[in-house]
Structure formats: C-alpha cells, structure tokens
Amino acid sequence: MKSAYLLEQLEEKLEELAQAVAPHTDKRTPKARFDSQLFHCRSTRLGDYLEEVRHSLTQLKQSVSAQRTERVAWMAERVVLQMGALQRELATQTLRKGEVHEVTENVNLYEKLARHQDYERRLRAMIADRESLLAGQQTLAQQQTLQREIAAFEGRLQRCLQALKRIERTIEKHEY
C-alpha cells in the first residue's frame, strides 16, 4: 500500500514537472546539460530528458511489481534525482538565455587566439629559416633579397604579436 501511494505521489510530481517543462520541450541548448551517470541520453532538448524520467518511473513501477527491493530503492533514488535535476535546469533557464551568445563568442576568441599563436610560430620558423640561409649566401644580391624577406616577416610577426595581445586582453575581460 505504501509503495502504491509513493508511486502515485511521484507520478503527480512528474506531471507537474512535465507542465513546467512543456514551454521548453523543444528548445535546444548549446550542449548536453546533465551528468551521464544521471541521464543516459545526450540530447540538447529538455523534452528528451523528461521522457527519460518517465521511462525511469515506468521501470520503477515494474521493479515494485516484481518486488525487487534493491532495484526499487535504486530506481526511486534515480527518479527523484532526475526530477530534481530537471527542476534546477528549469529554474536557471532565464539565466541561460544569454549563455548561447557568450559561449559562441568565447569559443571564437579561443579559436582566434590559437590561430594567431600558430601564425606566430610559423613566422618565427620562417625568420629562422631565412636567417640560416642568409649566413650561407655568397652574393650581395642574394643577401639583400633574404634581408628584405626577413624584414617583411618581422613586420608580420610584430602585427601578429599586437593582435595576440588584443585577443588576450579581450579574453581577460570576458573571464572577469
């Protein structure tokens, strides 16, 4: 009797949760929100997680019917934790509205930083390569050509380093 009453209470809470999730069912998030130990699905839609909670509740009912007490305790805890996680996620939906733009902007900044660091590395390698070639040149014309190339690469390197500093300052502003 007691387990039937508790299951009924869980069903009521799940229906309340389903009504709260309804406006957000098909909204996508930038990434999966929940721990893989709690939810098996890796969706970006809250409706998919709600379906998994329903499935867990069905499994709990089956375990109660089969009188598998250890499984009942584990499944009951899982259903309660899943419902709590969904409730917390709903509570933070208003805070997360600006998150998509911010996450995308931060990813773009880090990609830009990595790209410029790669440019810096390649420019330094080209300068070192030209300097080693310069040491082995016999004619003045060849030496002057290599010196012009080195000067051009050094100019590019300076602009690259300035861009790197700007990107790093922007990232620091976003982190604080």
pLDDT, one tens digit per residue, over 11-47 is 999 898 888 888 877 777 667 777 788 888 888 788 8
Judged against a pLDDT cut of 90, whether residue 143 lies above it is answered with yes
Tell me, yes or no, whether 8 and 79 share the same domain: yes
Minimum mean pLDDT among 22-26, 60-64, 88-92, 172-176: which range? 172-176
CATH at 40? 1.20.1270.340
Lowest mean pLDDT among 26-30, 96-100, 122-126, 169-173: 96-100
User: Which pLDDT does position 140 carry in this prediction?
Assistant: 94
Statement: residue 52 has pLDDT above 60: yes
My answer on whether 114 and 127 are in the same domain is yes
Q: How many domains does the chain have?
A: 2
Q: Are residues 37 and 84 in the same domain?
A: yes
Same domain, 76 and 148: no
Q: Do 106 and 89 share a domain, yes or no?
A: no
Q: How confident is the model at residue 102 (pLDDT cuts 50, 70, 90)?
A: low
Whether residue 92 is found in the same domain as residue 105: no
Whether pLDDT at 125 is above 80? yes
User: CB neighbours (10 Å) of residue 93?
Assistant: 15
Residues 104 and 91 in one domain: no
The residue out of 77, 96, 115 marking a domain boundary is: 96
Range of the domain at 144: 99-175
Confidence of residue 175 (pLDDT cuts 50, 70, 90): low
Based on the fold, state whether residues 92 and 121 are members of the same structural domain: no
